Structure 1
Amino acid sequence: METMTRLLAGQRGLWLAFYGSVLAAWGVLFAMQTRDVPAALQIDGLAFLLSLCRTTAADAGFGSALIMWSLMALAMMAPTAFPAFRTFAQINRTAGAGGQPVAALLAGYVTVWLGFAVAAALLQVRLAEFGLVSTLGRSVSAPLNGLLLLLAGAYQFSRLKEACLNACQSPMTFFFSHWQAGATGGAKLGVRLGAVCLGCCWALMLLAFVAGTMNLAFMGLAMVLMTLEKLPAVGARITAPLGVFLILSGAVVLLLSAITTIN
């Protein structure tokens, strides 16, 4: 509570709007899981969003898939970067820079993940066209599931993952190493932070195709794991074990698929 009080000081509207958006994204994603929607919620905009999970990705088209992935990116990834956001806000408050650089940082960060949402939506639509994903964006191909699990597991041990994770775990060092003042500087730092965060998490995010892109349990678990990875005291303890688990899971899936095919 004390941390939130310090963070909100002088920037209350900005942070309430940002995290209100995150909560709204989670709320819409939750509502999209519900078959029976109250009549009071049947307004045009929300009704459209709720309809996205009731058609296949191929039928709904790229636009609908993009909205779904954008909501997922905002709901899952913004909370994982909270320590970095807090650090940047504290630096700017100490310098008396106001809230504009912080707002620009947030905008730059979100922009990068919206770019990922574009790529993921294109991938989902293409996979749907080939009949490789179900109506809820879940892979129906065991080989694809196995390969995605192996990819995510192997990436946990890559140098790029390590470098990006180190930057996320040391936000103070990251910001001072690339510091640029003002709103323009904040936007550039936001894009750089978003790129680093993307470098940490893109492979884990693609596992949504294994669990289902509308699977709230997966979203919550993945958000928690990616948040913990970015904490210096915890991240070093879970990155490698998570990688081993994913590699073993992928190998088992591929082995069972091969046995089934032979039989």
Structure 2
Amino acid sequence: MSSLLTRRAVVPASWAALLAVAALAWILTVRSASGMAPGPGTMGRDLAGFLVLWGLMMAAMMLPSVMPVVSLYLRTLSARTTGWTRAGRSTGLVVGYLLAWEAFGLAAFGVAWAGGELAARAPDAAPWVAAVLLAGAGLYQMSPLKDRCLRHCRSPIGFLMRFGGYSGRLRDVRVGVYHGGYCVGCCWGLMVVLIVVGVMNLAWMAGLAAAVFLEKTWRHGKAFSIVLGVALIVYACFVPWNPGLVPGLSMPPDMSM
């Protein structure tokens, strides 16, 4: 009976811990964005600095949506597992999950850098490229691959039962990386949208974080994902004639040549 009570107590504690980490990441992200307007490129950061910022952003945006997975993972562990061990194992899963997103940050850096170069060297073409990227992200929202990854994120119990038997010190990190890979597959299009509208665009960050959470946890999440895709395509139609809609691929007036 005591072990059952311990298991039930650890799950709310893990949720509280994840929310606290996400809140701290938001605070640090907002502080990093202080005095910076959303704009093209990597915001003046080199690869290392960009990856630090990207890690904070992903922790802020994605950790709330991973709470159900952590809860399920804790339930797959043996009843003999102590509370502290459970906390350590769930931490390993979250670390692995964020590592998957940090790996994607390498590609994000390249896209952001290329966007800055395009905005500076071909300002007339940049809005059209942005429109294509936004429309592509919208179409991906309706693709079979998106649906497959989203189904995994919405109902990962089979995956957790299969890979929860990993052994070794890094078993939980491996599970987290594997799940994070599916999450990247599900949400990479939305992260491209974030780059197009400006890496440090806090309003879009908050909106996309809410969208990811709804996709993964709401019972109408799949339908919401499709509606979001249509909205992105419609948004893309306005971009070529309104470059200000995509700060990540347009130079501010005071910086344009």
1:9 paired residue number: 10
The 8 Å contact of residues 7 and 86 in structure 1, kept in 2 or not, is answered as no
**Amino acid across the alignment from 1:230:** K
Q: How far does residue 16 in structure 1 lie from its aligned partner after superposition?
A: 6.1
Q: How far does residue 56 in structure 1 lie from its aligned partner after superposition?
A: 6.5
Q: How far does residue 244 in structure 1 lie from its aligned partner after superposition?
A: 1.5
The 8 Å contact of residues 92 and 101 in structure 1, kept in 2 or not, is answered as no
* Equivalent residue in structure 2 for 1:207, among 193, 211, 225: 193
1:27 paired residue number: 27
Pick closer, same or farther for the CA change 1:31–1:241 going to 2, 3 Å: same
Q: How far does residue 76 in structure 1 lie from its aligned partner after superposition?
A: 0.8
Structure 1 residue runs without a partner (length 5+): 36-50, 134-139, 258-263
Tell me the distance in 1 between the aligned counterparts of 2:95 and 2:142.
Answer: 30
Pick closer, same or farther for the CA change 1:52–1:219 going to 2, 3 Å: closer
User: How large is the RMSD of aligned CA atoms in angstroms?
Assistant: 3.2
Tell me the distance in 2 between the aligned counterparts of 1:253 and 1:55.
Answer: 15
1:121 and 2:109 equivalent? yes
Q: How does 1:82-161 map to 2 (within 5 A)?
A: 82-92=67-77, 94=79, 96=81, 98-99=85-86, 100-131=88-119, 141-161=126-146
Pick closer, same or farther for the CA change 1:152–1:10 going to 2, 3 Å: closer
Percent identity of paired positions between Structure 1 and Structure 2: 28
TM-score, length basis structure 1: 0.75
* Worse overlay, 65-74 or 17-26: 17-26
1:128-162 alpha-carbon deviations (Å, 9 max, x no partner): 234359xxxxxx93112201211111101111111
**Amino acid across the alignment from 2:219:** A
* Equivalent residue in structure 1 for 2:58, among 73, 76, 101: 73
Pick closer, same or farther for the CA change 1:224–1:55 going to 2, 3 Å: closer
Tell me the distance in 2 between the aligned counterparts of 1:198 and 1:107.
Answer: 15
The 8 Å contact of residues 190 and 208 in structure 2, kept in 1 or not, is answered as yes
* Worse overlay, 144-153 or 193-202: 144-153
Instruction: Give the count of matched residue pairs.
Output: 231
Pick closer, same or farther for the CA change 1:212–1:115 going to 2, 3 Å: same
The 8 Å contact of residues 150 and 216 in structure 2, kept in 1 or not, is answered as yes
Structure 2 residue runs without a partner (length 5+): 1-5, 244-257
